[in-house]
Structure 1
Amino acid sequence: MKRLILGILTVGLLLAGSGKMAFAARSTDNFTITKFNAEYSLSRDSDNRSKLEATWRITANFPPNQNRGIAPVFVKKYDNHSTNFSLQSVTDEKGTPLEHTWNDDELRIGKKNTYVQGEKTYIIKFTQRDVTKNYDNTGRDEFYWDVIGNEWRVPMQNVQMSVTNRRGASTAAKV
């Protein structure tokens, strides 16, 4: 009896798994980000509050007739306060403005009824403030940030980032 139940569970799991794989093949998350380059400049504004200027250069490779663009999710609250997120621009690699809309914290970039396919580059520029936190144990403002955002559902092949502070010191990393 145990073998019969185990066999039924195994077949059920295999069928459920194959259904998920078939669904994933048609999923709108079935594309690859081939390059994600994030440049951050950290400084202070005129009120002496931390200010972050960011540029994301995202290159994605899309299959035919499946996707209308990308939809990054942005962190607009940090440590239970607003970061005063401000979108500066959304363009392609030639500087041409791209259509975009917001759905809560998700920026949907692309035309509603137009598929993209092949390689496409998106350049997103934005600013935020109050992105540092003062820690009692160090007595200093510190900066901790999720470089690529926090809700991507697609694989990334090449992620690079750099952070420059107001004194000109910089840090770079490649993942």
Structure 2
Amino acid sequence: MKRFLLGLLTVGLLLAGSGKMAFAARSTDNFTITKFDAEYSLSRDSDNRSKLETTWRITANFPPNQNRGIAPVFVKKYDDHSTNFSLQSVTDENGTPLEYSWNDDELRIGNKNTYVEGEKTYIIKFTQRDVTKNYGDTGRDEFYWDVIGDEWRVPMENVQISVKLDESLVAA
């Protein structure tokens, strides 16, 4: 009887352990961003304040029956002030609008009832304001930015960033 109970306990522990492994393998962070292209255009608005226009082109490769899309987090506050974040569009590579919803600063792109599988491209366009800071030690406005965001929990294979400065900023 002791052997039977010990055997039953061992089988139960093995099944529980394999269940945890199966659960871990189905983590929603178990996909790869194969390409992340970010285009930033820094200029000034009509009030002479910094303005940043951004386009992210994100291509991800998803395993079957696991994910419903991506969920990037955006900087809506910088140096204790609002960036006046404004989402312009969320589309696929063909310009087709994609479903999305917000959870605080996290943009959840995808349909909550539909899994995505294989390669999927997301194009996100947005603007922000007051993204530069004047530093007393240099007396200049400076631009520092975490160009891919800071809360991705998945690997990225290929990241390309371009920054375009408006001509009015070149001398500044």
Partner Cα separation in structure 2 for residue 153 and residue 22 of structure 1 = 19
- Identity value in percent: 87
SS at match of 2:24: helix
Partner Cα separation in structure 2 for residue 121 and residue 95 of structure 1 = 10
Q: How far does residue 23 in structure 1 lie from its aligned partner after superposition?
A: 3.8
Which of structures 1 and 2 has the bigger CA Rg?
2
Partner Cα separation in structure 1 for residue 118 and residue 49 of structure 2 = 42
Provide structure 1 residue ranges, at least 5 long, that are not aligned to the other structure.
1-16, 171-175
The residue identity in structure 1 corresponding to 2:36 is F
Normalising by structure 1, report the TM-score.
Answer: 0.84
SS at match of 1:46: coil
Partner Cα separation in structure 1 for residue 81 and residue 32 of structure 2 = 33
CA-based RMSD: 1.9
The residue identity in structure 2 corresponding to 1:49 is R
Runs ≥4 residues deviating over 4 A = 17-22
Find the counterpart in structure 2 of residue 85 from structure 1. Answer: 85
Per-residue CA shift, 1:50-88, capped at 9, x if unaligned?
000000000000000000000000010000000000000
Pairing 1:71–2:80 present = no
Q: Could you tell me whether the CA contact under 8 Å between 2:43 and 2:168 is conserved in 1? A: no
Q: Could you tell me whether the CA contact under 8 Å between 2:43 and 2:169 is conserved in 1? A: no
Find the counterpart in structure 2 of residue 40 from structure 1. Answer: 40
State the aligned residue count.
154
Mark the CA change 1:21 to 1:143 in structure 2 (over 3 Å): closer, same or farther.
Answer: farther
Mark the CA change 1:47 to 1:62 in structure 2 (over 3 Å): closer, same or farther.
Answer: same
Partner Cα separation in structure 2 for residue 57 and residue 47 of structure 1 = 29
Normalising by structure 2, report the TM-score.
Answer: 0.85
Farther off after superposition, 42-51 or 23-32: 23-32
Provide structure 2 residue ranges, at least 5 long, that are not aligned to the other structure.
1-16
Per-residue CA shift, 1:102-139, capped at 9, x if unaligned?
00000000001000000000000000000000001111
